[in-house]
Structure 1
Amino acid sequence: MSIALVSGLIIAVSLIILLLGGIPISIALGISSILAILPTLNFDAAVLTGAQRIFSGISVFTLIAIPFFILAGNIMNKGGIAIRLINFAKILTGRVPGALAHTNAVANMMFGAISGSGVAAASAMGSMIGPIAEKDGYDRDYMATINIATAPTGLLIPPSNVLITYSLVSGGTSVAALFMAGYIPGILWGISCMIVAYFIARKKGYRSTEHVTLKQAARITLEAIPSLLLILIVIGGIIAGVFTATEGSIVAVVYSLILSLFFYKTIKFKDLYEIFRDSAEMTGIIIFLIGASSIMAWVMAFTGIPAAISKSLLSISNNPIIILLIINAVLLFVGTFMDITPAILIFTPIFLPICKSFGMSAIQFGIMITFNLCIGTITPPVGNILFVGVKVAKTKIENVMKKLIPYYIAIFIVLMLTTYIPNVSMWLPLLMGYKK
């Protein structure tokens, strides 16, 4: 039996047992990785090397962007941004059938991108738009489904901490290129859900009766522009080479602080302690997770697990279409019970080399794996966005699951387009000159 097979089995079995036992994912990753290397190295060498891999895994300049983007997102979440984006989205969606559902979708895309959190988007938009929609005669479950289905789009539309994490684990893929690559798939995800919501609204007779005057539209737009400028300043600065993604994250913090404290005046200085504390806690969890996953990445490379899995997959078929379909199926399954960050840290080293052997760019693969795992956030049994969306809508999960099926189908179609048509994700990076 090969060392790759033995180590792979040890990782798989021990990780499952530890997770079922309630051990945190970061601790479980470290323990299972050490256990997997013991047939090759003695215990002292394994532990020492593991500690070194944790330190080297988090000693990366790019990682500094993560705590600052988290902090900027938390400031924005509590800074009165959501209601202004909702009002602006109403202008964009007009009075088409299901106008409030489309407003929810557009607002999710904008707020998710600004906050960098699908959970925050689902919570903010659901709690604010839901009562308005119910008052206008919309079905509560109908609004819950569109809110849940579109909340993950902000994880693809930049700035995105998930894509920064992928950049690190994939060997330094350009963050700016990944940000550009996420736009079209993320927007297509949102539009596909809006199409589904449109036809359901026509069938149910949901029509907006609200009329916005030109003067009101101008005022709402002016109020929303400062929030929208955050995306333009940060992403525009990164693309233009004015600053790096790490420096852009600091710009985002400074801008969001000025906006919330002095322009909108929606948070006070006394609120900053709680915002900083929550951001620090979240950062600690993510950074330690990345460090622990570095042990597993090293163990996999040392024992040849990715090469063994690649050989096994290629023995099934050498047809890229079939192999990519299998990889998508695995990632969709994994996403239903594992959070995005650990899943990216674990499966990127396994599947990226396989996809590269077919000529797929690391940029396209990054969007593909992120897209798959985003679907897991709205899928049982561990879909955190799904449960948050159900909670804020004050409904039951069994009520929305059947109604989510058309949205799942629409999202899956966009996933297939992203997987098999490179230009869906690669057109913007190529246009901007990030990849020749």
Structure 2
Amino acid sequence: MNTAAIIILVVSFIALIVLRFPISITLAGSTLITLMYLDIPWVVVGQRMIQGMNSFPMLTIPFFILAGQIMSEGGMALRLVNLAQLFVGTMRGGLAMVNCVACMFFGNISGSAAADVSSVGSVLIPAMKKKGYDADYAVAVTTSASIQGVVVPPSHNLVLYSIAAGGVSISSLFLGGIVPGLCLLLVLMIVSYVIARKRQYAKGDPITWKEVPKIVRDGLLSLMTGVIILGGILTGWFTATEAGAIACAYAFVLTFFIYRDVPLSRFWVVLKRTFRTVAMVLFLIAASDAFGWILAYLKIPTLVSDLFLNISSNPLVILLLINILLLLLGFPMDMAPMILIMTPILLPVVTQLGIDPVHFGIILILNCGIGLITPPVGTVLFIGCAIGKVSVNQATKASLPFFLAMCVVLLLITYIPGISLWLPHLYGK
């Protein structure tokens, strides 16, 4: 064990983070500094970075991102809000209920919590404020509900985990996220309802029967994106990568030729935004692969595994410790780098204990998702605060009941593997 090299890697990583370098530069930079000490040629970093992106399943990510960007461009969020209104809109605190369901619907299309809160939040946060809901509560509901988007398919974060884990089945992960996502929806709706009754928020406005056919038609057309992706994978008609490409084509036709909310000229703007996002994600994956290689070279995953197993050999205790670690890391770290860094470190620990990689993947993704609504790096929290025009402190306090509720769901998913594994086993994945 090269203790000096491990210290150099850790210290350089922390130093670059403190100096506020982008996480991809931090990963590549700390790897290069450590290689210099070990007198290993720098060409190794380049080779590892290229190898990290040289993967067919990697194409899934840009396709899913593009499909989500296209669907976000039009009035998709409003149509899904109207569809959710049919189911839960007339309840006490109806708009909060609608928010939870609409975020689930939109998450099944975009696979991104940030896109979820940006699209649904821009419609519902102002509407909730207009109906007398407290602004901090409106932001808390929206940001918390948007986390469903990272768990349910077609979450590109599940694809990231699959790549970081060395090829865990994407279709199994997609299936594994459905029931946990529904559990999350149910718990968030319960918390929203309890708070709404306590504060005596108004019931939602009823929808006339005349409006129902159009609302159902538009809503179902929007949801077909998720149906195409998941249905095609489950039936074996196409792979996850092919599903992403077909979803892009469907989203393009639906947005620009059927709904026609935006002119076709806006497609160039969508492409530029997608290219920018994909470039950042791919460079992060490349840098993470190089960082993962140096971790393996220094046998850090083995050291971490030994550390946990020296504390306890009980899988229940180890999983609790891992959850606490991931929740704490969620405060200063963003989601994608956390997945890419922690997967190669923690996966050997849990597999040694006989825990299914799909089960662990859902645990990891939900942990990282919860971190998106916690300061100081809660990306989703900041987007919601900007839309709702409330301070981060106000939104954080209002989010506490939802944070605790999500932690309850996390514990249920952690200690009842069947919640994540029932559907994959049912379909023989």
Q: TM-score, normalised by structure 1?
A: 0.96
Measured in 2, the distance between the counterparts of 1:346 and 1:190 equals 28
Superposition map of 1:296-315 within 5 A: 296-315=291-310
The answer to whether the Cα contact below 8 Å between 1:95 and 1:207 also exists between their aligned partners in 2 is: no
Determine the structure 2 residue equivalent to 1:175: 170
The answer to whether the Cα contact below 8 Å between 1:113 and 1:155 also exists between their aligned partners in 2 is: no
- Distance 1:78-1:299 versus aligned 2 partners, 3 A rule: same
Superposition map of 1:123-142 within 5 A: 123-142=118-137
Amino acid aligned to 2:298: T
Measured in 1, the distance between the counterparts of 2:336 and 2:133 equals 35
Of the three residues 274, 279, 282, the one matched with 2:274 is 279
Amino acid aligned to 1:36: T
Cα deviation, residue 194, structure 1: 1.0
Determine the structure 2 residue equivalent to 1:15: 13
The answer to whether the Cα contact below 8 Å between 2:137 and 2:399 also exists between their aligned partners in 1 is: no
Cα deviation, residue 358, structure 1: 1.3
Determine the structure 1 residue equivalent to 2:25: 27
The reply on whether 1:233 has 2:228 as its aligned counterpart is: yes
Cα deviation, residue 209, structure 1: 4.8
Determine the structure 2 residue equivalent to 1:150: 145
The answer to whether the Cα contact below 8 Å between 2:157 and 2:336 also exists between their aligned partners in 1 is: yes
Measured in 2, the distance between the counterparts of 1:313 and 1:397 equals 35
SS of equivalent to 1:370: helix
Of the three residues 161, 166, 179, the one matched with 1:166 is 161
Determine the structure 1 residue equivalent to 2:239: 244
The answer to whether the Cα contact below 8 Å between 2:339 and 2:364 also exists between their aligned partners in 1 is: yes
Q: Which moved more, 1:152-161 or 1:212-221?
A: 212-221
Measured in 1, the distance between the counterparts of 2:123 and 2:204 equals 18
Measured in 2, the distance between the counterparts of 1:347 and 1:225 equals 37
Of the three residues 253, 262, 265, the one matched with 1:267 is 262
Amino acid aligned to 2:188: C
Would you identify which runs of 4 or more consecutive aligned residues in structure 1 move more than 4 Å? none
Determine the structure 2 residue equivalent to 1:364: 359
- Distance 1:183-1:6 versus aligned 2 partners, 3 A rule: farther
Of the three residues 58, 62, 81, the one matched with 1:63 is 58
The reply on whether 1:430 has 2:425 as its aligned counterpart is: yes
Task: For residues 205-234 of structure 1, give each alpha carbon's deviation from its aligned partner in whole angstroms, at most 9, with x where no partner exists.
Answer: 123251222332222111211101111111
Amino acid aligned to 2:198: K
Cα deviation, residue 201, structure 1: 0.8
Measured in 2, the distance between the counterparts of 1:7 and 1:322 equals 30
Cα deviation, residue 403, structure 1: 2.0
Measured in 2, the distance between the counterparts of 1:295 and 1:233 equals 35
Cα deviation, residue 35, structure 1: 2.4
SS of equivalent to 1:214: coil
Measured in 2, the distance between the counterparts of 1:201 and 1:75 equals 34
Measured in 2, the distance between the counterparts of 1:429 and 1:74 equals 28
Superposition map of 1:311-322 within 5 A: 311-322=306-317
Determine the structure 2 residue equivalent to 1:104: 99
Amino acid aligned to 1:285: M
Cα deviation, residue 38, structure 1: 4.0
Amino acid aligned to 1:49: V
- Distance 1:411-1:284 versus aligned 2 partners, 3 A rule: same
The answer to whether the Cα contact below 8 Å between 2:89 and 2:204 also exists between their aligned partners in 1 is: no
Amino acid aligned to 1:153: Q
Determine the structure 1 residue equivalent to 2:181: 186
Q: TM-score, normalised by structure 2?
A: 0.97
Superposition map of 1:383-422 within 5 A: 383-422=378-417
Superposition map of 1:33-112 within 5 A: 33-40=31-38, 42-43=39-40, 45=41, 47-112=42-107
SS of equivalent to 1:215: coil
Cα deviation, residue 6, structure 1: 3.3
The answer to whether the Cα contact below 8 Å between 2:77 and 2:106 also exists between their aligned partners in 1 is: yes
Measured in 1, the distance between the counterparts of 2:289 and 2:89 equals 48
Task: For residues 355-377 of structure 1, give each alpha carbon's deviation from its aligned partner in whole angstroms, at most 9, with x where no partner exists.
Answer: 11111111011111111010000
Measured in 2, the distance between the counterparts of 1:88 and 1:219 equals 10
Task: For residues 143-199 of structure 1, give each alpha carbon's deviation from its aligned partner in whole angstroms, at most 9, with x where no partner exists.
Answer: 111111111111111101111111111111000000000111122112211111101
Measured in 2, the distance between the counterparts of 1:376 and 1:209 equals 31
Cα deviation, residue 39, structure 1: 4.4
Measured in 2, the distance between the counterparts of 1:376 and 1:119 equals 13
Cα-Cα RMSD: 1.3
The answer to whether the Cα contact below 8 Å between 2:108 and 2:223 also exists between their aligned partners in 1 is: no
Determine the structure 1 residue equivalent to 2:370: 375
Measured in 1, the distance between the counterparts of 2:4 and 2:352 equals 25
Amino acid aligned to 2:352: S
Cα deviation, residue 134, structure 1: 2.4
SS of equivalent to 1:360: coil
Measured in 2, the distance between the counterparts of 1:189 and 1:157 equals 10
Amino acid aligned to 1:26: S
The answer to whether the Cα contact below 8 Å between 2:95 and 2:204 also exists between their aligned partners in 1 is: no
